[in-house]
Structure 1
Amino acid sequence: MRHAGSAASFYEVRRGADGVLVMTARNTRFEPFTRYGDRGQPAPRVATVTTEVTQRSDAEGTPGRISVVVEDLSAAVARRVAAFSDPGSEGVLLGWRHFVTTEFGCCAAPNVRRVRLLENGRLLFRATGPGPAGTVAWMEAPNARPRLTRWAAYDGALDQAAYRRGAIGVLAYGSEAETIQRLEVRYREQPEHDAMDLNLGHGGRLVWVQPEHAPEAGRAETPFPIWGLDGGRPSAEIGGFSLRLLDGDGTLAVEIPVEGDRLVVGRATLGAGFSLEALGLDR
C-alpha cells in the first residue's frame, strides 16, 4: 500500500484605481496523522488543509477561510471521512482527534476558535479566550469503556445588542456526540454603558474541580481524569465534580456542580454581579 499527493498554492497582489492594495493567497498543505481506535489499533489518515486569506491596505484584519478534507488511508484506495470549512486565517490539528480554526479578532474583539472532530467533521464548540482551543476544559473517565469524554467551552464573542441586555457570553457543555447544555453568563443588572467588558472573552479560564484533586482544565490530548466512572455505567451517573469559570485575574465568575451529566444551575456559586440563564440548544 502506498499513498501520495500534491497540491498547488496561489497568490495575487493588485492595486485598484483608488490606490488600495488587495492581497490574496491560497495555500494548501498536507497533515498526515494516525488515528487510534478504542482498542489502540492505529489507522493512517491525512488532512488536506486549504487556507484562503485576503488583506487590504484600507482595512484591519486578515479575513479568510479554512477548508479541510480528511481521508482514511488504511486501504489501497483513499476514503474520505470528513470535509468542513470555517471562517478564519489559521487552522491546526489538535492532537489526532480535533481540528481548530482561529478567526482573529479585530478592533479589540477576542479571537474566535472553532473546534471540530477530524473523524467526521462535527463542530464541537466555538470558544474565545487563550489557549490553543480557547477557554475550554476537557475531561475523561479513564476506566470507562467505551471511551467517555466531556468538554466545556466559553464563547465571549457577542454583539452589542446582547451585551446591552446583560449577556456576557455562552458556556456550553457536551460530548463528542452532542452539545448537552448551553448557559448564558449574564450581569445581574443591565450595564450602564455600551463599552463591552471583554475580560472573560480575552482571558477567561475553565477548570474542573474534583474533591481531593487540584483544579485543572485538562487538554484535548490529555483530558482531566474523573475517576469512579467505569465499565458500562450510564452517562447519567456522571457527577460529583464541578465546573469553574474564572476571569483573567483569577476571580470567580461562576462555579456549577455536575450531577447526572448536567450542569446544575440551581446550585451554582455565582461571583459578584454574575447570573446564569439556561439556553436552548438551537440558540
Structure 2
Amino acid sequence: MNIANIFKTLIVSVLLLLFAIDINLIILSITINESILNPDFVISELEYLDFYSNLKNNMIREMGAIKPELASLVNESVSVEMIRLKTNSLIYNFYSYLKYQDDELNLTLSLSDVKENLIKSAEDSGVEIPEFAIDLIQDNIDLREELNEEQITIIERIRTFIYHFYAIYSLLYFLAIVLLLLIFLFIGDIISFLDKIGILLLINGGILVGFPVFVTELLRGKIKGIELPGDFPSEIAIKIANDILEPFQFYGILLIVIGILSLILASGIGIIRKRKEKEERREEGEAEG
C-alpha cells in the first residue's frame, strides 16, 4: 500500500467518524425536539403524573382551609378538564414564545369562569363565600408578574439557546449530506461505499437501541434509596427519563434497517457487476474464437 492509499484510507476513516458523530447529533437533536422542546410531550407527562387532578385537590384543600364548605364548592365548580385546558394553554403559550413563534410571552390565566362557577355553586348551595376569598380569585392573572428578574433572564437565555439549537439542527442535516458526498468521492466505488456506510449504520444503530436501557438502568441504580425532592417517586423519574430517551431506540432501529438495506444493495450491485463482467469475458472469448 503506497502513501496515497494510506492517506486516502485515513481521510475516509476520519470522514466516516465525523459522519457517525453527525448522525448521533442529529438523533440527539430530534430526541430533544420531540421531548423536552415539545409541549405535547410535556402535557402527556403531566397526564401520566395525574398533575391536573392533584392541582384540583390542592385547590380544594386551600379553599377548605379558609372555610370547610368551600371545599365542596370548589369540587363542584372546578372540573379537572377546566384545569387541564387552562394549564395546557399556558404551556403552549410558553413554548410558542421560547420557539420564537410569538414575540411576547403570554402567561395570562383567565379565571373569570372559575369565579362565576364558584359563586353560582355557592348561591345554589346557600353557602356564603367570604369576600376576601372571592377577591383571591382574580378574573385574569398575568403570571409574568410573578417572575423575578433572575427567572426572566433564565427564560431569555433558554429562548436564545433554542434559537441557536434549531440553527445547528438544520446545519447538521446539511453536514451529513456533505460528508456522505465526500466519503463517496474518496472511496470512488459504490459497492465499497454502501458496505462501509451499512456497517457503520448497523453498529451505530445497535448502540442507540441499547443506549436508553443502559441509561435508565444506570439511573435506577443511582437514585435507588435516594429521597428525591418533593417525595418524587423514583420509578416515575425513571419512566420520564425513559420516555425522553425512547426516540433513540426508534432511530436506532431505523439506522439498523437502513444499514441492512445498504448492505443488501451493495451485495446486489456486486452480483450484477460480476455477472456483467462474466458476460463481457464470455463475449470477448467468443469474439477471439
**Band of TM-score, shorter chain:** under 0.3
Structure 1 length normalisation: TM-score?
A: 0.22
Structure with the larger helix share: 2
Select the structure of larger CA radius of gyration.
Answer: 2
Answer 1 or 2: higher relative contact order, Cα 8 Å, separation at least 6: 2
